[in-house]
Amino acid sequence: MKAKHLRGIILLGTVVLTGLLVIQLYWFNKAFDVAERQFDHTVQIALRKVADSVAKDAEIRKMSSNFFFVATNSPLNDVQLDSLLRKEFSRRSLSVDYELGVYDAADDTLVYGHYVEATRRLEAEKAAYSRSIAEKNFAVYFPKKQSYVVARLDVWIFSTIILLLMMGFFAYAIASLLRERKFAELKNDFINNMTHEFKTPVTNIRIAGEILQHKIPDAATQVYVNILLRENERLRQKIDQVLSGASLEYMRRPVLEAMDVHRLIEDCAEAFQLKVRERQGTLRLDFLASQASILGDKDLLLQAITNVIDNAEKYSLECPHILVRTRDLGDHIEIDVIDHGVGIAPQHRAKVFEKFFRVSSGNIHTVKGFGLGLSFVKHVVQVHRGRIQLLSELNRGTEVQIILPKA
């Protein structure tokens, strides 16, 4: 994935999740306000019921978020008042701890205080305890009101926790992705450096072998020199394959120029004619396209078409019979490479363009390679704004279709 696209995904994901969190917190706050107002309303209704039972024209004032004051200016039975409050709160399902305080109406002196737990069971009313002070007020304080109201918002709390977990997983995934990308870049840099380092001795071996080929007239020795050159060429091809596969994600932008695709295919096929004839096979070119001019990068397309023909030859286990055909497809040209080789099973067709994937029989790969050829081909075709398709039947052959826009 390109750095620009990765930054865009990270930015978009961060903006979306942050927006969701802001919206979630906004509605959580609104829900808390609603639940708090509902709590206050229920408390005031309960207090009104109690106040009307013990006095006339009592005034209920909310002094703070969790403190309610009831001015009765009437004689109050402390124990009876406590019992009435518990009954009214229980009737309205207010299972919350509270503190009851009874004050002298003259100087607001506390004359009775009682802490009542939400889990405490209702008790029978006790006999009134007479006091000399006749006029009293009372207040109710809820020390755990905030936690009680929050506990009523269990669905909102659960959804907020889920959203926070999602943000945590997103951050972890992004961190892991960036770490893996860094490792991938280091791996590709290592492969690129190593393959370039290998190319120098391979080139020197080829030059030395060609000199020996011309200097030594002995036919018996020439056999070994030919083996040396042939194996050196195989090594060079393998290095090129690894280098091509490792640089897929960092491939340079194609240098487009007008070219004749038929001429390009002839150059590719020329390198395989001798190998195919040695195996008693045929490599036939059938140019049906009326217009063969395209805009493309010659080096990249040459390597891509070469990879496809190379696969057709390698996976024809007997005599290879390969057809390379072109035909018009509207404003595109279609290049078909058809063989009669081993074919590909249906479950493997969707994976053959993946990097390092190779079709095998059990744990044995009957054809040697790195699984980079078709991955490279697909990438080259895509950067040329084309598409690639594969048709294959097991044991009946394969057809690879490369479709490129005309010039």
Residues 284 and 223 occupy one common structural domain: no
Which of 188, 215, 246 represents a domain boundary (last residue)? Answer: 246
Q: What is the DSSP code (8-state) at residue 293?
A: E
pLDDT above 70 covers a percentage of the chain that reads 86
Is position 24 within any domain?
Answer: yes
Residue 218 is encoded by which pair of tokens?
């002995």
The segment with the largest mean pLDDT, out of 55-59, 196-200, 245-249, 318-322, is 318-322
- 36 with 118, same domain: the answer is yes
Same structural domain for residues 136 and 177? no
**Mean predicted lDDT score pLDDT of the chain:** 83
Within-domain flag for 117: yes
Are both 171 and 284 inside the same structural domain?
A: no
| Domain interval for residue 321 | 257-405
CA distance 236 to 297: 22
> Is the same domain home to 267 and 389?
yes
Please say whether the beta carbons of 309 and 270 come within 8 A.
no
Q: Do 97 and 212 fall within a single domain?
A: no
Where is the domain boundary, 246, 265, 281? 246
Q: Domain check: are 206 and 343 in the same one? A: no
| Total number of domains in the chain | 3
Q: Structure pTM? A: 0.48
If asked whether residues 113 and 233 sit together in one domain, one would say no
**Residue 213: pLDDT above 70?**
yes
One domain, residues 290 and 356: yes
Q: Which stretches of 172-281 are assigned E, i.e. beta strand?
A: 257-260
Residues 288 and 302 in one domain: yes
How far apart (Å, rounded) are the C-alpha atoms in residues 246 and 192? 7
> Do residues 33 and 169 share a domain?
no
For residue 35, being part of any structural domain is answered with yes
**Average of per-residue pLDDT across 356-360:** 61
Q: What average pLDDT score do residues 355-379 get?
A: 61
Pairing of strands 282-287, 321-329: parallel
* Element at 208 (helix H, strand E): helix 154-215
The answer to whether 374 and 303 are in contact (CB under 8 A) is no
Write the CB contacts of 202 (distance below 8 Å, at least 6 apart in sequence): 232, 235, 236, 239
Q: Is residue 251 part of a domain?
A: no
For residue 252, tell me if it sits in a domain. Answer: no
Q: Do both 109 and 30 map to the same domain?
A: yes
User: What pLDDT is recorded for position 134?
Assistant: 61
315: DSSP letter = T
234-to-69, 145, 230 alpha-carbon distances in Å: 95, 81, 6
Question: CATH code at 399?
Answer: 3.30.565.10
Which of 196, 220, 246 is the endpoint of a domain? 246
The pLDDT assigned to 38 comes to 93
Question: Are 399 and 384 within 8 A, CB to CB?
Answer: no
Q: Indicate which CATH number applies to the domain containing 217.
A: 1.10.287
CB of 163 closer than 8 Å to CB of 21: yes
Residue 338, Ramachandran bin (φ over 0: left; ψ between -120 and 50: alpha; else beta): beta
Using one digit for the tens of pLDDT, what is the confidence trace for 81-136?
888 999 999 899 888 899 999 988 878 888 888 788 866 554 444 444 444 446 78
